[in-house]
Chain A
């Protein structure tokens, strides 16, 4: 494996060159990592540290002119936890996350199982399914706002046409239905991702196992229950963990659909954090809420890692 340029190097010069290269080798090696390390430190490390310190400081709209943000201890956390909107936002985050993921997963699994069967056009249809996932989230929010529009939206018009409802449902403008509508849209958004990952997990299960199970009399549900599910478990847990991590921080979609309203009906920890920082200019409380979000994400990762290592030991 020589390259032509190497051959051109005179043999007599090779030893000193090589020694110099060995000396510079460590520097060269770190040189490969350095740009990424610096970037990660500035755009992930710094924000985490900064967010942590900010949560102990008092920010007001004047802070950005005067530069003064006095240390206030745990006052931001006390204020955040005492706020009734926090409890509402926490509950909404839990409902939004759990129902979205359950919906995405069940429908995604159904479609993944369906697409595993061979039929004409299945590859084409499967790749078209990715489209909702690739669109900017704010585009999806705009489209669904139009579909869910109370008077001229297609959803209410169709429901009325088939006689399911008599009066149009104010999907996004009533506090009774807004969260349901937002979850519905988020399920639609998440299905492609679930199908892609579950489908690739299903493809990795050897067909011989199904044939063996069939000889033992297991088909349909029992083959799914005793062959597919156990073998798919690692993929399922990754899909669910990533689902949780992505869903708790969803912001674009909610801001685009409802802005957290009406009357905080769709307010989550993420939207509340945005609101505190960038609407109220109380970056201290915004940072405290951001840290709550990080802690929730970390908790789920720890649960996932422990479940995984237990499965490794048992398996």
Chain B
């Protein structure tokens, strides 16, 4: 029984040959080369963004393949136009990440570690919540925010942006805490340790990796948010950088190098976290969906 597809007729077939030839150094090298080509195609737009951000300003940008004479005027105008917006984005994203963890972690612990009536409902709502289109939430929040005075405020944006982070964090952290042996928590109870203490000093320290993953993604969700910024702010005082970028490309004679410089700066958190926290990113990428 040998493979027919991998072999030209005539070569002496043996059980071990195909396995060897399939993993020969040449083949592996070819695969690496092919992989690099695929990734280069996929990441070309990102390279092109960086390239354009380093081109001299003006609305008729000459496309050069390499930024051989980098010009930082795009960054200068990006910082002066969007500096304030970047600070707003940072405050909102950090706030939303903290809020997500504070609200999601105890809930995840409860869902994972003890049965109470209503926990099924909470879990169901969390799963459904991810299906609700953002525009539906924005629609209703605008009228409510208008009444309670949360339009154009940082807390208003933090609360709204956490709509992405909280359900995601509950699912990620719960999945981790479920794998934590219930016996240990029970033993702690027998020793007179209440739920609050068991949560705080036993479960929380060992769950730190899932908290970091949830925190990173909650931060990125809020940093990337555009819809809530677009609908729940009306002035220029509170304006996250995503909305600043949108208004930038909306102007008629677009200064592409400043636009791309802003885009590069707005991408920095995602790139930095991908490099610095790769294993957490990988955990979050699969964890949130399949669980």
Binding site for B on A (CB under 8 A): 1-3, 5-6, 9, 14, 17-18, 21, 25-26, 28-33, 35-37, 39-40, 43-48, 50-51, 54, 64, 111, 114-115, 117-122, 125, 127-147, 149, 151-154, 157, 188, 191-193, 196-197, 200, 214-217, 219-221, 235, 238-239, 242, 245, 248-249, 251-252, 255-256, 270, 273-274, 277-278, 283, 286-287, 290-291, 293-294, 297-298, 301
Q: Do the beta carbons of A196 and B286 come within 8 Å of each other?
A: yes
With A139-B267, A293-B133 known to touch, is A219 a contact of B6 (CB < 8 Å)?
Answer: yes
Q: Do the beta carbons of B143 and A54 come within 8 Å of each other?
A: yes
Q: Do the beta carbons of B116 and A54 come within 8 Å of each other?
A: no
Complex Cα distance, B34 from A2, in Å, reads 56
Complex Cα distance, B278 from A125, in Å, reads 12
Please tell me which one of the listed residues A14, A130, A145, A242 contacts residue B281 in the complex, with CB atoms under 8 A apart.
A130
Which residues in B have their C-beta under 8 angstroms from that of A129? 39, 42-43
Known: A50-B140, A143-B46, A147-B48. 17 other contacts (CB 8 A): A2-B191, A3-B193, A14-B192, A35-B102, A43-B166, A44-B163, A47-B136, A119-B32, A127-B282, A129-B39, A136-B225, A142-B260, A197-B289, A215-B1, A219-B5, A277-B138, A297-B133
Chain B min CB distance to A182 (Å):
15
Q: Do the beta carbons of A47 and B286 come within 8 Å of each other?
A: no
Complex Cα distance, B224 from A92, in Å, reads 25
With A138-B226, A140-B45, A277-B142 known to touch, is A32 a contact of B63 (CB < 8 Å)?
Answer: no
Q: List 7 A-B contacts (CB under 8 A).
A: A14-B192, A36-B166, A122-B32, A127-B278, A135-B267, A138-B246, A278-B142
Chain B min CB distance to A60 (Å):
13
Complex Cα distance, B142 from A111, in Å, reads 42
Please tell me which one of the listed residues A132, A196, A248 contacts residue B45 in the complex, with CB atoms under 8 A apart.
A132
Q: Do the beta carbons of A143 and B116 come within 8 Å of each other?
A: no
DSSP class of B's interface residues: helix, strand, loop or mixed?
Answer: helix
Q: Which 5 A-B pairs have the closest CB atoms?
A: A36-B107, A136-B224, A47-B140, A119-B31, A249-B133
Please tell me which one of the listed residues A36, A144, A278, A301 contacts residue B122 in the complex, with CB atoms under 8 A apart.
A36
Binding site for A on B (CB under 8 A): 1, 3-6, 23, 27-29, 31-32, 34-36, 38-39, 42-43, 45-46, 48-49, 52, 60-63, 102-104, 106-107, 109-111, 114, 116, 118-119, 122, 125-126, 128-144, 146, 159-160, 162-163, 166-167, 170, 184, 187-188, 191-197, 199, 201-202, 220, 223-227, 230-231, 242, 245-246, 248-249, 256, 259-260, 262-263, 266-267, 270-271, 273-274, 278, 281-282, 285-286, 289-290
Please tell me which one of the listed residues A115, A140, A157, A273 contacts residue B139 in the complex, with CB atoms under 8 A apart.
A273
Q: Do the beta carbons of A252 and B226 come within 8 Å of each other?
A: yes
Chain A min CB distance to B240 (Å):
10
Chain B min CB distance to A65 (Å):
10
Q: Do the beta carbons of A1 and B242 come within 8 Å of each other?
A: no
With A122-B35, A139-B245, A147-B45 known to touch, is A43 a contact of B159 (CB < 8 Å)?
Answer: yes
Complex Cα distance, B23 from A212, in Å, reads 19
Complex Cα distance, B250 from A2, in Å, reads 62
Chain A min CB distance to B16 (Å):
12
DSSP class of A's interface residues: helix, strand, loop or mixed?
Answer: helix
Q: Do the beta carbons of B129 and A152 come within 8 Å of each other?
A: no
Which residues in B have their C-beta under 8 angstroms from that of A44? 125, 128-129, 132, 137, 163
With A36-B170, A129-B39, A132-B42 known to touch, is A251 a contact of B62 (CB < 8 Å)?
Answer: no
With A136-B270, A140-B45, A252-B227 known to touch, is A114 a contact of B35 (CB < 8 Å)?
Answer: yes
Which residues in B have their C-beta under 8 angstroms from that of A32? 106-107, 109-110, 195, 199
Which residues in A have their C-beta under 8 angstroms from that of B231? 274, 277-278
